[in-house]
Structure 1
Amino acid sequence: MRQIARYWLREEDAETPWCPAAVAAIRVTASDLLTPYPWSRQLSDAVGRAGTLLSHVDHSHFEVPPHGMRWLVVVDGLDEVSSPSVRERLLEKLAGQVRSHGPCRLLITSQPLPQEELSPFSGLPGVGFYTLRGFDGEQQHAFAARWFAAQGDPDAGPHAKEFLADVADASLEEVLQVPLLATIAAAFRTRNPDRPLPRGRVELYEMFLADLKNAREGNAEVLSRFLQRWTVRGYGKVAAWLVQHQDRLLTHLARERTTGKPPSSLLDTALEWLARHLPAGLDWPEGARGELGQFLAQSGVVAFDGRELSFLHQSFAEFIAARDEAASIPSDFPDFDRWSRRIANAANGNRLLFTLALWARRPGNDVAVVVRKLLSGRTDHRIMALRLVTSGVPLGEALETTVIERLLDFSHDHAQGRFPDSDHAVLAELAELAELAELSQLRGHRRLAERLRTIATTEGISLSLRAKASRAYARVAHLPEGVRLLKSLAESAGDSDDTLECCRHLEALAPQETPYVVARLGALVTAPNVSTWARLRAASILP
């Protein structure tokens, strides 16, 4: 959006927009589209709430193309609508906008959702699904160097290299592929230059949020000014109580945001919580709504835009809610069956992983209790057990081996050289974890490497799955052999989509293979009988 805006403002160093068609871009949140008003009114209200406009934009402007262009409506945070039924209605509404061919073009962002939820878009012309690519090796180096330079570090280059080496030692390569997690890891290093990096994603979140809390509590000057200001107004006891119970309030907001209820105003939710929990004789003052938002924003996990509160990232809300839930679960995990039913919903994956991992890390809890129950369950339960390993939860060598062996217990028919359909789900999930780099904790695991190589070389499995297995093999076992497998698949690919997938994996894995990728994609772009859409996708991969 910034790129498009700078282009229209004719700024000197503005880049040519990524979107070839002329568009005027606006950003709305998925929650903005849950009001009972017409579409154009919802857009008008959303841009007004942003607080950056000099005057109100009437809803009629969004009913027609602006100056012969189209509106590009970026719908952000679809996954933050945690209620599946509400999300389903919203997706139907958005699909209706696509079918109407109106003045709006849509770009919808979300964490992965269950495939069936996306069915309203099935078969609609002009609809594409994309996965956000993580930082490659070159981008990771650039990010680290710029981060330390921005902190005023006179030795930013050497410190960036040292940071990247520590990331590799901690098996946190997946962290640097995700911009949010890369920022968290770099911020942790800046605040704690002499401490080792956390091992795994769960510990990284845990230490980062602890850092934020320590920084907040250690800033005595800010707290003192807050208390003085409220004491002068006659509300000193209210302010002192709020400071003492800020974490409880943030936990309540996190649970409300992630429990599947229809979204509501977080600031209203906070005020309602205060009305219920402030001690007798204490009341939150009228007209101090904005001051509550400002105070909570000092936590570092929520932002206040002058009107509304929002979590800086949905995963912060998921982690905080999971931490509270994990603390309430007894050591024998008696209600595991109820929890396990949630695993089937992909939208619950992060929060469930955090809950199980944080429960396992609590003193007196035996992680084997949960892992054994997961391993006796369905495929998605076994995948969750593996995610505990890949997220850095210490299981011990024997239990980790059991998890991996149980997951890899496929019914591969060596005589026929194929896998039965029932095992394809496991293969797909395993390959997906590899693509997210979450298998970095398992580097060097011999049997896993053997299985991945078998998947990569087995006829009868989709080439897409074989390509992902090749990429996983490169990460877990041997980079040159994984690259060779991918190049072999690219050369035998029967259609443009398979060629594109192989080239995308090669580009992410091995920058030195850029000339090969360029040659393959160049041949694809100029080949006859290749769709315009495939040519555009090939051009987007070309470096």
Structure 2
Amino acid sequence: MDEITNTRQRSDVLHRLAAFLAESGRPHRFVITSRPLPEAELAEFRSRETGLFVLRPFSSDDLYNFAVKWYRARTPDDDPETQEVAALRLTSRMHASGLTSMVRIPLIATMAALLYTADPDAELPGSRAELYRSFVDLLRSGRADEKGSSPQAAWLSGVQERLIEALAGRYMEDADANLVEAANRWAEEHAPRSLSRPVGGWSGRVRDRLIRSGLFGSAAGEVVFLHRSLAEYVAAGPASYRQESWRADVRPGGRRRPAGPRVRRSALPMTVPRRTRHGRRQVPYPRGHGQCW
């Protein structure tokens, strides 16, 4: 339900569902899934005989059981002891990489397991952003990059990353947007004038390019992101570029610094000015806290 990003549209869908469920004699049952929503949007369901279930994060035992089942599904010919040893190695690598709190989320645990399975000797990423970056790279590397012999296919291969970033931004604006149509418009606008338009337009070529990128799938005949969080991660790329540009513009003299806030941790207590009713006074700053600027 949360993938209906427009609040008014989402409220309309919830209202229709509540009205449908209020009618007596209906033989249907619904399972409505969503990330957390504002309490007011779910108020109509609270007064009805509806159950509310929260997806429980993995405990340590759950994570181990997940890993065992992971290897049972992937290596069914191995004996149970070998599968359990492999599961212990996987969960130990997750903990050693600092992912303990993040892999409690089943999706994150699955991504980490895929990365580990692809290269057991490599260290797992230590942050959510690095994990998504590595996972996206893994999806892309798993699909052959057939540039093709035509100039149009070669050009699309070269601009694929920019195209996908544009589509991710479009998806975040409107989750119901037709991504093939959006990609077709993007190609029409950005293709060099010297490049002839493909017979039948760009739609067929961009659809094939998106599917082969590894980040998209097909549902009910439409091209869609494999998961909303992948779109969120890819869309954040251009946003971070704009943020860095803004920082450079507002700094005195336009001096550029590395992206993101710089943090310095101090082992010594500090004092900072605090305004009171009687003016300014110095107050202790907690030991070990970071300074951001």
- Aligned residue for 2:180, secondary structure, equals helix
Structure 1 residue 163: deviation in Å?
Answer: 1.6
Greater RCO, CA 8 A, separation 6+: 2
Among 317, 323, 326, the alignment partner of 2:237 is 323
Among 35, 39, 42, the alignment partner of 1:115 is 39
What letter is aligned with 2:4? V
- 8 Å CA contact 1:293–1:304 kept in 2: the answer is no
Name the CA distance, whole Å, in 2 between partners of 1:363 and 1:204: 25
For residues 197-255 of structure 1, give each alpha carbon's deviation from its aligned partner in whole angstroms, at most 9, with x where no partner exists: 11132221122113333444xx4xx515xx1xxx4xxxx11111111111111111111
Name the CA distance, whole Å, in 2 between partners of 1:330 and 1:284: 37
Corresponding position of 1:268: 181
1:441-520 to 2 correspondence within 5 Å? none
Unmatched 5+ stretches in structure 2: 251-255, 264-287
Corresponding position of 1:365: 259
Name the CA distance, whole Å, in 2 between partners of 1:198 and 1:190: 14
Unmatched 5+ stretches in structure 1: 1-77, 337-361, 370-396, 404-543
Name the CA distance, whole Å, in 1 between partners of 2:248 and 2:49: 49
Among 283, 289, 292, the alignment partner of 1:398 is 289
Structure 1 residue 287: deviation in Å?
Answer: 7.6
Corresponding position of 1:257: 171
Among 75, 78, 84, the alignment partner of 1:157 is 84
- 8 Å CA contact 1:331–1:365 kept in 2: the answer is no
1:99-178 to 2 correspondence within 5 Å? 99-101=22-24, 102-123=26-47, 125-152=48-75, 155-178=82-105
Corresponding position of 1:26: none
For residues 393-425 of structure 1, give each alpha carbon's deviation from its aligned partner in whole angstroms, at most 9, with x where no partner exists: xxxx632xx89xxxxxxxxxxxxxxxxxxxxxx
Identity of aligned residues (%): 30
Structure 1 residue 193: deviation in Å?
Answer: 1.8
Corresponding position of 2:222: 308
Structure 1 residue 181: deviation in Å?
Answer: 1.0
2:160 is aligned with 1:246: yes
Corresponding position of 2:151: 237
Name the CA distance, whole Å, in 1 between partners of 2:2 and 2:260: 32
Name the CA distance, whole Å, in 1 between partners of 2:74 and 2:27: 44
Higher strand share: 2
For residues 430-468 of structure 1, give each alpha carbon's deviation from its aligned partner in whole angstroms, at most 9, with x where no partner exists: xxxxxxxxxxxxxxxxxxxxxxxxxxxxxxxxxxxxxxx
Task: Give TM-score, length-normalised by structure 2.
Answer: 0.76
Name the CA distance, whole Å, in 2 between partners of 1:305 and 1:331: 37
Structure 1 residue 306: deviation in Å?
Answer: 7.0
Change (3 A) 1:363 1:83: farther
Change (3 A) 1:335 1:183: farther
Structure 1 residue 147: deviation in Å?
Answer: 2.5
What letter is aligned with 1:158? V
Higher helix share: 1
- 8 Å CA contact 2:188–2:202 kept in 1: the answer is no
- 8 Å CA contact 2:184–2:202 kept in 1: the answer is no
Corresponding position of 2:21: 98
For the aligned residues, what is the CA RMSD? 3.0
2:110 is aligned with 1:183: yes
Name the CA distance, whole Å, in 2 between partners of 1:206 and 1:315: 12
What letter is aligned with 2:215? V
Name the CA distance, whole Å, in 2 between partners of 1:115 and 1:100: 23
- Between the two proteins, the alignment pairs up a number of residues equal to 257
Structure 1 residue 116: deviation in Å?
Answer: 2.2
Name the CA distance, whole Å, in 2 between partners of 1:262 and 1:287: 24
Name the CA distance, whole Å, in 1 between partners of 2:40 and 2:196: 49
Name the CA distance, whole Å, in 1 between partners of 2:162 and 2:198: 16
Corresponding position of 1:223: 146
Structure 1 residue 284: deviation in Å?
Answer: 4.0
Name the CA distance, whole Å, in 2 between partners of 1:237 and 1:306: 31
For residues 43-82 of structure 1, give each alpha carbon's deviation from its aligned partner in whole angstroms, at most 9, with x where no partner exists: xxxxxxxxxxxxxxxxxxxxxxxxxxxxxxxxxxx11111
Structure 1 residue 304: deviation in Å?
Answer: 2.0
Task: Give TM-score, length-normalised by structure 1.
Answer: 0.43
Structure 1 residue 98: deviation in Å?
Answer: 1.8
Structure 1 residue 291: deviation in Å?
Answer: 5.3
Name the CA distance, whole Å, in 1 between partners of 2:113 and 2:198: 38
- 8 Å CA contact 1:275–1:284 kept in 2: the answer is no
What letter is aligned with 1:179? P
Change (3 A) 1:365 1:290: closer
For residues 350-371 of structure 1, give each alpha carbon's deviation from its aligned partner in whole angstroms, at most 9, with x where no partner exists: xxxxxxxxxxxx97134258xx
- 8 Å CA contact 1:121–1:127 kept in 2: the answer is yes
Name the CA distance, whole Å, in 2 between partners of 1:194 and 1:184: 16
- 8 Å CA contact 1:255–1:321 kept in 2: the answer is yes
Name the CA distance, whole Å, in 1 between partners of 2:225 and 2:54: 23
- Aligned residue for 2:259, secondary structure, equals coil
Structure 1 residue 137: deviation in Å?
Answer: 3.1
Name the CA distance, whole Å, in 2 between partners of 1:215 and 1:262: 26
Name the CA distance, whole Å, in 2 between partners of 1:297 and 1:262: 18
